[in-house]
Amino acid sequence: MAAISCVDLCKYYQQGDAVIKGLDHVSLEIEQGSFVCLSGPSGSGKTTLLNAIGGLDKLDSGKISIDGERVDQLGKAALADLRLHSIGFVFQAYNLIPVLSARENVEFVMQVQGVSASERKQRAFRILAEVGLQGMEDRRPAQLSGGQQQRVAVARAIVSQPKLVLADEPTANLDSASLEKLMARFRELNKLHRITFLIATHDERVMSWAERRIGMEDGRVIHDALQAPV
């Protein structure tokens, strides 16, 4: 069974007299344990596709299934439960809670999941160290650089080892060394725990880590091919 199945997805936006094609009849399947990159220019549909798969955007038409469950037919409560337990998100805007420390931001999802306080703290310290933020656990987002905030967002997304990680430009503010370490960590999680990764990126360095590269333009898939990762 595919981890993600998308059938004839359509999402259109009205901009004045023009109709913008966010998704224009997109169909694809992504197998469990895959490591896939979405490439394409700004406005190509990458973020719209990620948001649709994660149940954050409503489609105009089409079908999306995750592990055989129709995401597009789920109600709000069921969608929230799916996102809480099965999907890790890395957003371009980070979406960190400003009044919480880095550690508390990472712990937040685990707290909602019912993980014990001691286990949450242990996992948060470990994952923040792995993404290069050891010693910064008590800093709030405003006290961190953009790249550091991005790493907190990544840590929060992967700390619970979800079945699926949807990442929107997760390396945009990282230097080369941090990028390589982060991608190596993603691949380690992918290989050891068969976590499925779907990463939207402009960065050729990120794309080189993927097993499969899907190119998008004007809301359509224009290229889909396997490749040998680094």
Hey, where are the domains in the chain?
Answer: 34-52+82-226
Give the mean model confidence (pLDDT) for residues 15-24. 91
Residue with tokens 């019912």: 114
pLDDT of residue 181: 87
**Which amino acid is present at 107?**
E
Between the alpha carbon of residue 16 and those of residues 19, 20, 60, 219, 230, the distances in Å are 8, 10, 19, 19, 44
Checking if the pLDDT of 22 tops 90, the result is: yes
pTM confidence score = 0.93
**What is the average pLDDT score of the chain?**
93
160-173 residue pLDDT tens: 889 999 999 998 88
pLDDT of residue 55: 93
Taking residue 116's Cβ as centre, other Cβ atoms within 10 Å add up to 10
pLDDT of residue 164: 96
Per-residue DSSP letter, 56: S
Give the mean model confidence (pLDDT) for residues 204-211. 95
Q: Which residues contact 139 (CB under 8 A, 6 or more apart)?
A: 101, 102, 148
pLDDT of residue 174: 86
Homologous superfamily (CATH) for 34-52+82-226: P-loop containing nucleotide triphosphate hydrolases (3.40.50.300)
